[in-house]
Every structure is written in C-alpha cells, then in structure tokens.
Chain A
Amino acid sequence: MNPPPTPFNFQVFLDHVLSLLFAQTWAWWAAGLGLGLTALGLAWMTGRKLGVTGGFEDAIATQDPSFSSSPDRWKLWFILGIPLGAVLANAGHLGWTFLYGRLDGLVFGSFLLKAFWLLGAGVLIGFGARWAGGCPSSNTILGVSLGSKMSILATLGFLAAGMIVVNFLYKVF
C-alpha cells in the first residue's frame, strides 16, 4: 500500500521549509524549545529575566513620570519586538482580520460588543498581572522554571480561574 518513492524535489523541500518558517504553527515541543532558548539567551546575553508586563509599565512611564521605568527601558524595547517577531512568523500570509475565533459566536458577531469585551478583559489582565507580580510569561514560564514558590502559586491561580471562567462560559452559552 506504500506510495511509490518520489525523487527528492528541492522546490518541494524549500516550499515546506518556508511554510514552516513563515506560515504554519508548530508542534508543542518545537515552539516550547524556541521559547525556552529565547529566555536562556536573554539571560546569558543581558542577565535579564524574561517578562512582558513591565514593558507596559515602561510604555506608560514615557507619558506619566510617576511611573518608574526599567533600566535603559529595556522592557519597552523587548515588548516592541514582540509584534515584529509575530509579523515574521506569519510573513507568508499577512493580512488584517477582525475575526477572533469562537469569541465571535459569544458576542453575536458584534464588533462593538467584542471591542468592549476585550477592553474589559484587558483591564483585568493588566491589573491582575501587576497584582500577581507577573504575567504568564514571567511567572508561568520563567518563575516556575526558577522553582519560585510564588510563581508556582500564581500559575495555579491563573489556571484555576481560567478553567472556571471558560467552562462556565461555554457550558452555559
């Protein structure tokens, strides 16, 4: 039942590699390896701890002097890089979309409702991230790998609250 062996075709191979690099998403182990190596590289090159929410604070600090910023505003630089990397990851099929997965069904496809939904959720995310001492990047990825008791507790908190909310939302509606 095996298909006949096809001769190696460089064009097919190249298309496959380009698609992997600039279009497709990856298996969990490959993406996880990349994220881990990024955090390790950052630590080795600069001695800094991976984190994202501090960059939001840096961004506010550029406008409001009552906010303290990170040394050299490095966190602002870091978060400005994030969208650039995401552009690269999808360079093969770039385009704008207003769609947002299953949420579109929850908000009856209403743009306005979806905008306010995400705005409100964003406020909870920002407020909670500062209160929790870090977001899923700094607590769940970096903090847990350091074996930090606080980060492990915070991670369990994120997951518990998330599971309750999602299961409520998608069981009831």
Chain B
Amino acid sequence: MATRKKNLSASSPAGWTYLAFGALFGYFLSKSRATDYDAIIAMFQWKEFQLYGVIGTAVAVIALGLFLFEKIGISTRSGEPLELEKASWEPTRLFGAFVLGVGWALAGTCPGTSLAQLGEGKVMAFFTVLGILGGVWVFKKYGPKFAGKEDVC
C-alpha cells in the first residue's frame, strides 16, 4: 500500500460519476419495490418472496463478480487493487442492528429507499429523511464510540 503506483493522468473520479451510480442504485431500488411500504411489511411477514429474491440476487451477483474480478486479476479502472474492506467485528453493533430493524419495520424504508421514495413523489418520505439526518446526528454526538474503523458505511 505504501508504494502504490500512481497514475498521474488518472485523477479521482468526478462527482458526476458518483451521482450517476447513485441514480442507477435509486432506479433499481425503485424497480425492486423496496420503496413500497406494503412490500417491506410483506417481507417481514414472510408473505412475499420478492425482496428476499432481490437481496439474494444482488448478493450473489456481487459475490460472483468480485470472485471473477479476483480470478481474472481485474483491478479498478485507475489500476489500483480492488480491495473492499470488511466491517470490523464489534458484536455490540447488533444492538444498533435491532434499532435499525425496528425503524425499518415502522417506516417500511431504509436510508437508501427513503431517498428513492422522494424521487417517486412520496411526500411522506421527507419526514423519514429528516428523521434519519437527526438520528445520524444524535448518534455521532451521543452514541457509543468504536475503537475499530469508524467509516464502514
């Protein structure tokens, strides 16, 4: 890592690159019905396979893709090794997962889909997004601190 070869002509990707990938993500989230409160409720009630299928397919595609990248020796476009870091093991994060799960069930949406809902014209998502901003702020100020890598998301 210390002597990573820098390609001088390849600067870091521009903002619009990330904007475009965000748009793709929002497009497919909307197509998947993950932005639909009723679909989330049906998922938690085990009444619909839809969202389990969506998550399962996405996970399988990414795992297979990364495996192939490694097998063939594909690096990132700018030539750097493709290493996606795993989240560090902090079992108490499970409590946070419970809190998020409760919120996910109550609002029928997670951070990504709440933004997609705004694009779909669901006005109520504005309140969810506002709440998420508040929750992120409160956690930073008053939540537990972790010694491990903070930036996992």
Partner-B contacts on A (CB < 8 A): 25-26, 28-54, 56-57, 59-60, 64, 66-67, 70-75, 77-90, 94-103, 114-151, 153-163, 165-167, 169-170
Q: Mark B79-99, 1 if CB is under 8 A from A, else 0.
A: 010111111111101111111
Chain A min CB distance to B142 (Å): 9
Return the contact of B13 from the options A38, A46, A50, A159 (Cβ within 8 A): A46
Number of interface residues of B (CB under 8 A): 116
> In the complex, what distance in Å separates the CA atom of A41 from the CA atom of B54?
18
Q: List 23 A-B contacts (CB under 8 A).
A: A26-B31, A36-B59, A38-B28, A44-B76, A45-B77, A52-B115, A54-B151, A60-B137, A78-B19, A82-B115, A86-B30, A116-B127, A123-B138, A124-B102, A124-B103, A125-B103, A128-B97, A128-B135, A134-B152, A136-B104, A156-B97, A162-B43, A162-B44
Return the contact of A132 from the options B26, B77, B100 (Cβ within 8 A): B100
Contact between chains at B18 and A153 (CB < 8 Å): no
- Summarize B's interface: helix, strand, loop or mixed: helix
Contact between chains at B15 and A77 (CB < 8 Å): yes
**A-B interface, 8 closest residue pairs, ranked by CB to CB distance from nearest:** A122-B131, A81-B22, A126-B135, A131-B96, A32-B57, A157-B97, A36-B61, A161-B101
Contact between chains at A89 and B27 (CB < 8 Å): yes
> In the complex, what distance in Å separates the CA atom of A99 from the CA atom of B38?
12
> In the complex, what distance in Å separates the CA atom of A167 from the CA atom of B59?
26
